[in-house]
């Protein structure tokens, strides 16, 4: 069968255009991922300027900002219904977080760099017991978390980041 050269190669040209378009989409997706990777969320040890970004990430609604003598507590309600409070020192550093609600919020997001030590300690605690609230008291991190279906609560703080005069009982 005789086909003019343009028609014979039309399939190859179509495939090249599709591959070229897909390559462009992959490059765009990779760029967006890398551009978003630098975005910081509020987390233990993080900066106060990231509290709003954290609330946005959890699709939360701002509820309250409470100022005390040695800290400011930013409270918001996540889309999941969990109420999250982030405690910020006068130096602008997040030193504690607390939550309560029908679901436990994303602790990886809230704990940031402190998530790995939390995960190790929580895993060890689970191996030692079967029921009850989780209590971790390490020199660099204190966490308490517990509850039952649709009623969870907990808190975490970094002792060395707590401002002078702030008691652990205030982080609730």
For residues 172 and 85, give the distance between their C-alpha atoms in angstroms, rounded to a whole number: 8
Per DSSP bridges, beta strands 94-101 and 134-138 are: unpaired
What DSSP element (H or E) covers 155?
strand 151-157
Per-residue pLDDT reduced to its tens digit, 135-156? 999 999 999 999 999 999 999 9
pLDDT of residue 10: 55
- Beta-carbon contacts of residue 13 (< 8 Å; ≥ 6 apart): none
Using only the alpha carbons of the chain, give its radius of gyration: 24
Query: What is the mean predicted confidence (pLDDT) over 117-138?
Result: 89
Cβ burial, residue 155 (10 Å; 0-12/13-18/19+): buried
For residues 13 and 19, give the distance between their C-alpha atoms in angstroms, rounded to a whole number: 10
pLDDT of residue 49: 77
Q: Does the pLDDT at position 3 exceed 60?
A: no
Ramachandran bin of 116, using left for φ above 0, alpha for ψ from -120 to 50, beta for the remaining angles? alpha
Per-residue pLDDT reduced to its tens digit, 35-94? 333 334 458 999 887 776 667 777 778 889 999 999 999 999 988 899 999 999 999 999
For residues 81 and 152, give the distance between their C-alpha atoms in angstroms, rounded to a whole number: 11
Q: Does the pLDDT at position 109 exceed 70?
A: yes
């Amino acid at each position: 069968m005789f086909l003019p050269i343009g028609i014979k190669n039309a399939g190859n040209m179509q495939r090249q255009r599709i591959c070229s378009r897909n390559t462009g989409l992959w490059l765009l997706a990779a760029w967006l991922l890398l551009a978003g990777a630098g975005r910081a969320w509020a987390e233990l040890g993080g900066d106060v300027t990231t509290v709003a970004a954290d609330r946005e990430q959890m699709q939360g609604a701002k509820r309250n900002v409470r100022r005390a003598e040695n800290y400011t507590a930013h409270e918001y309600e996540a889309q999941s219904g969990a109420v999250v409070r982030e405690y910020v020192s006068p130096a602008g550093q997040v030193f504690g977080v607390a939550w309560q609600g029908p679901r436990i919020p994303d602790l990886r997001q809230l704990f940031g760099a402190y998530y790995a030590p939390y995960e190790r300690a929580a895993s060890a605690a689970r191996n030692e017991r079967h029921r009850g609230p989780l209590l971790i008291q390490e020199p660099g991190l204190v966490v308490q978390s517990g509850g039952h279906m649709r009623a969870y609560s907990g808190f975490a703080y970094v002792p060395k980041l707590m401002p002078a005069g702030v008691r652990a009982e205030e982080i609730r």
